[in-house]
Amino acid sequence: MVACGCKCETTEQAQLIEQLDRIIDEYRGQPRGLIQVLHKAQELVGYCPKWVQVRVAEGLGVSLQEVYGVVTFYALFSLIPKGRHKISVCAGTACYVKGTKMVVKAIRQHLGIKPGQTTEDSRFSLETVRCIGACGLAPAMIIGKDVHGRLEPEQIPEILEQYQ
């Protein structure tokens, strides 16, 4: 068992730590790799809980305070678990004038969650994000890695159905 400071007892968690260490190894002792390591760590764990931050801080040789500072500064890093499918509704100018509000409302009605929340079954989490650069297809949103454009509120249930 790797000593990580948390109460991980299952093999699954131990494996996760091992994988995390491999990510850290690439930049061990190099503070400049912090953001890159956090990207990969979040991809692996799903979010950046304290134990991840502690391990990254020790591995890269920066203080936990600095890691926490970076995690909370950048919008892409999250301190709380996200759903299996992350819905990011674009709130850029073009999308805003073409109906971001309607899209968010339709998702809210369908899933019962507000931006910043995750459904109880952890299937979806919802957030509004800065311009995703798909302005030609406004209003747009990203689910997972798929961009959906030219949205109409009535299409929302059908689109969400594709993600289980």
Partner 1 sequence: MNNLNEIRAKYTEQFQQKSKRARIVVGLGTCGIAAGGDKVMEAIKQEVAARNLDIDIDFTSCIGMCYREPIVEVALPGMASVIYGDIFPDKVSQLIESHVVNKQPVTEWAAMQIPEGRTEYDGIVTMDKSAYYEKQVRTVTSRLGRTNPESIEDYIATGGYEAIEKALSMDRLAVIDEVKKSGLRGRGGAGFSTGMKWTFVYNAQGDKKYAVCNADEGDPGAFMDRSVLEGDPHGVIEGMMIGGYAIGADEGYIYCRAEYPLAIRRLNLAIAKAEKLGLLGENILGSGFNFRIRIKAGAGAFVCGEETALLNSIEGQRGMPRVRPPFPANKGLWQKPTTLNNVETYANVPFILRKGADWYAGMGTEKSKGSKVFCLTGKINNTGLAEVPMGITLREVIFNIAGGIQDGKQFKAVQSGGPSGGCLPAEKLDLPIDYESLGAVGAIMGSGGLVVMDENTCMVDVARFFLNFTQNESCGKCIPCREGTKRMLEILTRICDGEGKVEDMDTLERLANVIKTASLCGLGQTCPNPILTTLRYFRHEYEAHIIDKRCPAGVCNALLVYKIIAENCTGCGACRRVCPVGAISGENKQPHTLDTAACIKCGGCVSKCKFDAIIRG
Residues that bind partner 1 (CB under 8 A): 31-36, 38-39, 62, 66, 69-70, 73-77, 91-98, 129-138, 140, 145-150
Between residues 15 and 74, which has the closer beta carbon with respect to partner 1?
74
Which amino acid is present at 73? F
Between 24 and 132, name the residue whose CB sits nearer to partner 1. 132
Q: How far is the CB of 50 from partner 1 (least distance, A)?
A: 18
If 0-12 CB within 10 Å is exposed, 13-18 middle and 19+ buried, where does residue 12 land?
exposed
Which one, 57 or 111, has the nearer CB to partner 1?
57
Compare residues 22 and 130 and give the one whose CB is closer to partner 1: 130
**Cβ 1 to partner 1 shortest distance, Å:** 30
- CB closer to partner 1, 51 vs 77: 77
Task: Please check whether residue 5 is in contact with residue 19, taking contact to mean a CB–CB distance below 8 angstroms.
Answer: no
Q: Tokens representing 163?
A: 């993600």
Residue 97 C-beta: closest distance to partner 1, Å: 5
Give the shortest CB-145-to-partner 1 separation in angstroms. 7
Nearest distance from C-beta of residue 47 to partner 1, angstroms = 14
The secondary structure of 64-108, three-state, reads: HHHHHHHHHHCCCCCCCCCCCEEEEEECCHHHHHHCHHHHHHHHH
